[in-house]
């Protein structure tokens, strides 16, 4: 037994590992999917009559984007950067203005009675609107709601919305609901 | 006679490359864990719009993707440069979304079906017309949970 086993030459393991590494770099992706999440309204039943689902005029704000990506919120044209404050004012209605949405008291489980705004944001767009402008507007709407939730959480729980635990987040979501209605498409330009 | 005679003994010691493979393996495992297999080849050019208030998608395996954009350069001769819809690996029309959603739904387990999300990956220069058509079709197939894919605004 005088013979020693010769050592295996391991200098090529690095090369093999590099090859494998290159293979995985080529075939895999690392993108994280992020985006704005929405729930589409279900298709109304054609047999069902159009109910008097009329929302009170003061409770609705119509945000329109035309084919040139110009924005109209309520009655006045504005820039996207102004939209957030407009929506916040609309939803919070701090001075109980009769032209802004009414609030009604809702019993929230785990919190108690709370004044919840009945405001609905109706978003309408043209077929020629660019997707970029549409997302920018959607983003501003979500930002307004997120800021309201933050303020509400700070006032009630002393923490921003993101730092709350699951139950409190649900309460905050109920207190400041995200009522964005993406209207049925209509052709504005077709006459 | 020279004072600076070369001494044959003072050579630079070679750097040991024994641990090189360990380092590379570590990199390899990192990439294997953090990445996912690319499933489809992009046939449309998609540059996502920017947004700030975006949330991360929780369940990637329950997500179906609808890509909307202009075909990539080498396919433009064949398909033109109008915005097209890509499902899985081929160009489709709006009417074929129904079959696509049905197929995706069948592939999921019973319990997961209600959590199915459809991610709309549309190019930022797409017109809303085609996106609206897609949305209407999704409503008709009652795939109501959607996500507008976007990328974080660079600050």
* 3-state secondary structure string across chain A: CCCCCCCCCCCCHHHHHHHHHHHHHHHEECCCCEEEEEECCCCCCCCCCCCCCCCCHHHEEEEEECCCCCEEECCEEECHHHHHHHHHHHHHCCCCCCCCCCEEEEEECCCEEEEEECCEEEEEECCCCEHHHHHHHHHHHHHHHHHHHHHHHHHHHCCCHHHCCHHHHHHHHHHCCCCEEECCCCCCCCC
pLDDT tens by residue, B69-98: 888 888 887 877 788 888 877 888 888 888
pLDDT of A105 higher than 80: no
B127 secondary structure, DSSP code: B
Residue A124 is assigned to a structural domain of this protein: yes
Do residue A18 and residue B24 have CB atoms under 8 angstroms apart?
yes
Chain B neighbors of A43, CB-CB under 8 A: 139-140, 142
pLDDT tens by residue, A87-104: 888 888 777 777 777 777
CA distance A108 to A87: 23
Predicted local distance difference test score (pLDDT) of residue B36: 73
Do residue A135 and residue B49 have CB atoms under 8 angstroms apart?
yes
Residue A165 is assigned to a structural domain of this protein: yes
CA distance B50 to B148: 11
Which positions in chain A have a beta carbon within 8 angstroms of at least one beta carbon in chain B?
10-11, 13-14, 16-18, 20-21, 24-25, 27-30, 32-43, 125-132, 134-136, 138-139, 142-143, 146, 182, 185
In chain B the first and final C-alpha atoms are separated, in Å, by 69
From A70-74, A107-111, B30-34, B52-56, the region with the lowest mean pLDDT:
A107-111
Which residues does A107 contact at the CB level (< 8 Å), separation at least 6? A113, A114
Q: Which chain B residue shows the shortest CA-CA distance from A187?
A: B129
Residue A20 is assigned to a structural domain of this protein: no
Residue A122 is assigned to a structural domain of this protein: yes
Ordered domains of chain B (ranges, CATH) = 44-51+61-152 (3.30.420.270)
B127, B130, B138: best mutation site toward chain A, by most A Cβ within 10 Å?
Answer: B127
Nearest Cβ partner of A134 from B27, B36, B128? B128
The count of structural domains within chain A is: 1
Predicted local distance difference test score (pLDDT) of residue A190: 41
Across residues A170-174, what is the average pLDDT? 84
Confidence (pTM):
0.76
Structural domain containing residue A59: 38-182
On whether the CB atoms of residues A178 and A145 are closer than 8 A, the answer is yes
Asked if this assembly's ipTM is beyond 0.85, the reply is no
Chain B neighbors of A126, CB-CB under 8 A: 128
pLDDT tens by residue, B137-150: 888 888 888 888 88
Predicted local distance difference test score (pLDDT) of residue A191: 34
Chain B neighbors of A123, CB-CB under 8 A: none
CA distance B45 to B37: 20
On average, the pLDDT of chain A sits at 80
Predicted local distance difference test score (pLDDT) of residue A92: 81
Residue A27 is assigned to a structural domain of this protein: no
Nearest CA-CA partner of A133 in A83, A87, A178, A90: A83
Nearest CA-CA partner of A174 in A113, A105, A104, A116: A116
CA distance B135 to B144: 9
Do residue A29 and residue B128 have CB atoms under 8 angstroms apart?
no
Q: Which chain A residue shows the shortest CA-CA distance from B142?
A: A42
Do residue B127 and residue A130 have CB atoms under 8 angstroms apart?
yes
Do residue A131 and residue B34 have CB atoms under 8 angstroms apart?
no
Per-residue pLDDT band at A112 (split at 50, 70, 90): confident
For A91, counting Cβ atoms within 10 Å of its Cβ (0-12 exposed, 13-18 middle, 19+ buried), the class is buried
């Amino acid at each position: 037994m005088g013979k020693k086993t010769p050592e295996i030459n391991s200098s090529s393991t690095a090369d093999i590992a590099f090859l494998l590494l290159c293979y995985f770099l080529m075939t895999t992706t690392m993108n994280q999917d992020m985006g704005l999440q929405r729930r589409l309204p279900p298709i109304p039943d054609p047999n069902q009559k159009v109910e008097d689902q009329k929302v009170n005029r003061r409770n609705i704000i119509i945000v329109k984007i035309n084919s040139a990506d110009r924005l109209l919120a309520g009655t006045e044209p504005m820039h996207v950067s102004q939209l957030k404050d407009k929506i916040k004012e609309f939803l919070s209605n701090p001075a109980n203005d009769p032209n802004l949405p009414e609030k009604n008291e809702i019993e929230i489980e785990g919190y108690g009675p709370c004044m919840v705004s009945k405001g609905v944001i109706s978003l309408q767009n043209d077929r020629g609107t660019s997707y970029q402008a549409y997302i920018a507007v959607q983003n501003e709407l979500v930002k307004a709601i997120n800021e309201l939730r933050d303020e509400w959480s700070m006032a009630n729980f002393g923490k921003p919305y993101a730092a709350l635990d699951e139950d409190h987040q649900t309460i905050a979501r109920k207190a400041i609901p995200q009522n964005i209605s993406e209207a049925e498409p209509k052709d504005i330009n077709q006459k | 006679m020279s004072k600076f005679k070369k001494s044959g003994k003072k050579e630079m010691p070679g750097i040991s490359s024994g641990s090189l493979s360990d380092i590379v393996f570590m990199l390899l495992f990192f990439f294997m864990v953090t990445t996912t297999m690319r499933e489809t080849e992009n046939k449309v050019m998609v540059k996502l719009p920017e947004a700030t208030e975006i949330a991360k998608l929780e369940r990637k395996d329950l997500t179906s993707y609808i890509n909307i954009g202009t075909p990539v350069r080498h396919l433009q001769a064949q398909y033109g440069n109008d915005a097209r819809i890509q499902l899985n690996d081929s160009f489709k029309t709006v009417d074929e979304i129904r079959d696509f959603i049905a197929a995706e739904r069948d592939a999921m387990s019973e319990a997961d079906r209600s959590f199915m999300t459809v991610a709309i990956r549309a190019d930022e220069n797409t017109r809303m017309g085609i996106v609206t058509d897609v949305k209407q079709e999704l409503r008709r197939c009652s795939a109501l949970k959607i996500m507008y894919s976007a990328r974080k605004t660079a600050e």
